[in-house]
Structure 1
Amino acid sequence: MKKIHLYALSLLFLAGYAQGQSNDHAPAKLPDLKSGEAVATFAGGCFWALEEGMNQLKGVREVVSGYAGGTVKNPTYEQVGTDRTGHAESVQVYYDPKVVSYPQLLEAFFAGHDPTTLNRQGPDAGRDYRSVAFYRTPEEKAAIMAAIKETNESGHYSGKVVTEVTPLTVFYPAEMYHQNYFALHPNQPYIQSVSLPKVQKLRKAMVGHLKNSTSLTMVD
């Protein structure tokens, strides 16, 4: 996602408009929170991979891609891509805490991206791709800090975690065409080269907590 893909996305938009599908560029609607559910919000680079990875966990009902951490109201993908809104590409996870705990979501989050690279994930650079763990309660903040300490002490990464720990103010859902993008476009070059390895990494770390144990594979 990435500037080299904006032109292709623009072409897709024009084609969709011609076919009466322009609503794909309308923002998605947030689902209602069901009884007993909880919600968590994370940013870890391109939201296509993080959405797919989190959605594969047992106990997760739905994941919505969107924008958080900035000051501009109702931002568009194009605005966030300028890196001037303060927002990061983020995901909001609706889950059953009786099946998957918040610390387990944090484990998946820290496994599904590189939390040691400042304002960058792989080929994607800018604060809109920064690593952020948003919290809603003091308990969530404490869990995030504990997860960062554990990640640093594990030696899994050569560098130290630079993930921001930030209270959530508002989450804006991204456009409809971004939702479930990984699942709907598995052969897209960016998905294959950048997103898929991140999802595979998350799955490897969360064995035993997956809805489906079938491995994802690269397309030749």
Structure 2
Amino acid sequence: MKLLKPILSIAFSFLLISCFSFSKKEENETLIKTYKPNKNTKVAYFASGCFWCVEAIFESVAGVEEAVSGYAGGETKNPTYQSIGTGKTGHAETVAVYYNPKEVSFETLVTVFFGSHNPTTKNGQHPDYGTQYRSIAFYQTEKEKKIIEDKIAKLNKEVYDGKIVTEVTQHSKFYEAEEYHQDFEKRNPNQGYVKAVSIPRLNKFKKKFPELLKEKN
């Protein structure tokens, strides 16, 4: 019993700062405006852990018009936050990044992706673990695939000693997440996970890549 109590305490503390521990009752009730890209906007898709963190990071980048949280990479149709939390849908928490190619290139977005998470972690980013949090760089053209693969080869040689586990996957279908997940970090700055994980991760990225940030950041 003495051993069980500290184990349960650790497990409870973990749940409090887990991306999946979120209760919908905690959300800020501010309504979200539907984003409508213009004809020149392109979209890229990336998965690298909790989408609250990833969305906030990409939205801080100059040339990015909007980032939308959702699910991709699996075969299950119409996944939900609860269903992907089981790790059985094949999907990962993914962010659709809408960007102006005249202001930021796909190659730069790939740099942001690899520079804002640990691509050597199998199935997760601390403190979130499971296939739904795995690292995936999606491509839509052979040119995009080559950009991703060249980046991986360079990083494996210069930084990670061949240990990158990021999946390079052709994009097929993106399912937008429930409305209350959109702009979650921005709308819920005092939520436990946001304060403990999301904001520190965003600040770490900003410090690492100040030249890529929007002026207001």
Correspondence for 2:64: 60
Change (3 A) 1:166 1:31: same
Task: Tell me how far apart the structure 1 counterparts of residues 69 and 144 of structure 2 sit (CA, whole Å).
Answer: 20
Correspondence for 1:164: 167
Give the 3-state SS of the residue equivalent to 1:192 in structure 2. Answer: helix
Task: Tell me how far apart the structure 2 counterparts of residues 110 and 52 of structure 1 sit (CA, whole Å).
Answer: 15
Q: TM-score, normalised by structure 2?
A: 0.84
Residues matched between the structures, number = 202
Structure 1 counterpart of 2:97, from 81, 93, 97:
93
Task: Tell me how far apart the structure 1 counterparts of residues 71 and 34 of structure 2 sit (CA, whole Å).
Answer: 12
Q: TM-score, normalised by structure 1?
A: 0.83
Task: Tell me how far apart the structure 2 counterparts of residues 31 and 174 of structure 1 sit (CA, whole Å).
Answer: 13
Cα RMSD of the aligned pairs, angstroms, is 2.4
Correspondence for 2:198: 195
Q: Which amino acid aligns with 2:55?
A: E
1:130 aligns with 2:134: yes
Question: By how many angstroms is 1:160 displaced?
Answer: 1.5
Correspondence for 1:74: 78
Structure 2 counterpart of 1:9, from 23, 34, 39:
23
Correspondence for 1:218: none
Correspondence for 2:11: none
Question: By how many angstroms is 1:202 displaced?
Answer: 2.0
When structure 1 is superposed on structure 2, of 171-180 and 181-190 the one drifting more is 181-190
Q: Is the Cα contact below 8 Å between 2:24 and 2:180 reproduced in 1?
A: no
Structure 1, unmatched stretches of 5+, are 215-220
Q: Which amino acid aligns with 1:197?
A: P
Change (3 A) 1:153 1:29: farther
